[in-house]
Structure 1
Amino acid sequence: MAETVVLRSTFGKFLTLSVIVVVVACLVALGVQGEVDVAVRFVAPLVALAYLVWLVYWAPAVEVSDGGVRLVNVFRRIDLPWPAIERIDTKYALTLFTKYGRFVAWAAPSAGRHRFINTPKEDARGLPESSFIAGTLGQGDLPNTESGDAAAVVRARWESLRDGGHLDSGLLDDAIRPVAWNPVKIATTAVLVAASLASLLVFSGR
Structure 2
Amino acid sequence: MGPTEIFRPTFSRVLAYALWVLLAFIAISATVGTSGSVRLRVITGCIFAATVVVLFYFRPYVEVSDGGILLANPLKTTMLPWPAIESTEIHGSFNVQTVDGMKHSSYAATIANKRNDLGLAGEVKKFSDNRLEALSAAGYLNDIRPEGAPVTVTRNIAGLVAISATALAFLITLFT
| TM-score, with length taken from structure 2 | 0.90
Alignment match, 2:110: 109
CA 1:175–1:150 in structure 2 vs 1: closer, same or farther (change >3 Å)? closer
Q: Which residue of the other structure, out of 118, 122, 131, is the alignment partner of 1:148?
A: 122
Contact kept in structure 1, 2:6 and 2:62, CA below 8 Å: yes
Per-residue CA deviations over 1:101-160 (Å, capped at 9, x if unaligned) read 21001100113232x2xxxxxxxxxxxxxxxxxxxxxx63xxxx1211211221111121
Alignment match, 1:124: none
Deviation for aligned residue 1:73: 0.7
Contact kept in structure 2, 1:70 and 1:78, CA below 8 Å: yes
Contact kept in structure 2, 1:111 and 1:146, CA below 8 Å: yes
Alignment match, 2:30: 30
What is the CA–CA distance in structure 2 between the aligned matches of 1:102 and 1:190, rounded to whole Å? 28
Contact kept in structure 2, 1:42 and 1:200, CA below 8 Å: no
Per-residue CA deviations over 1:41-77 (Å, capped at 9, x if unaligned) read 2111111111102201110110111111111111111
Contact kept in structure 1, 2:16 and 2:57, CA below 8 Å: yes
1:98-177 alignment, distance < 5 Å: 98-100=98-100, 101-114=102-115, 116=116, 140=118, 145-173=119-147, 176-177=150-151
Q: Which residue of the other structure, out of 172, 183, 190, is the alignment partner of 2:164?
A: 190
What is the CA–CA distance in structure 1 between the aligned matches of 2:16 and 2:149, rounded to whole Å? 38
Partner secondary structure for residue 173 of structure 1:
helix
| TM-score, with length taken from structure 1 | 0.78
User: Whose Rg is larger?
Assistant: 1
CA RMSD in angstroms comes to 1.8
Contact kept in structure 1, 2:70 and 2:78, CA below 8 Å: yes
CA 1:36–1:17 in structure 2 vs 1: closer, same or farther (change >3 Å)? farther
What is the CA–CA distance in structure 2 between the aligned matches of 1:200 and 1:11, rounded to whole Å? 32
Partner secondary structure for residue 147 of structure 2:
coil
Identity of aligned residues (%): 27
What is the CA–CA distance in structure 2 between the aligned matches of 1:164 and 1:44, rounded to whole Å? 54
Q: What letter matches 1:3 in structure 2?
A: P
* Unaligned ranges ≥5, structure 2: none
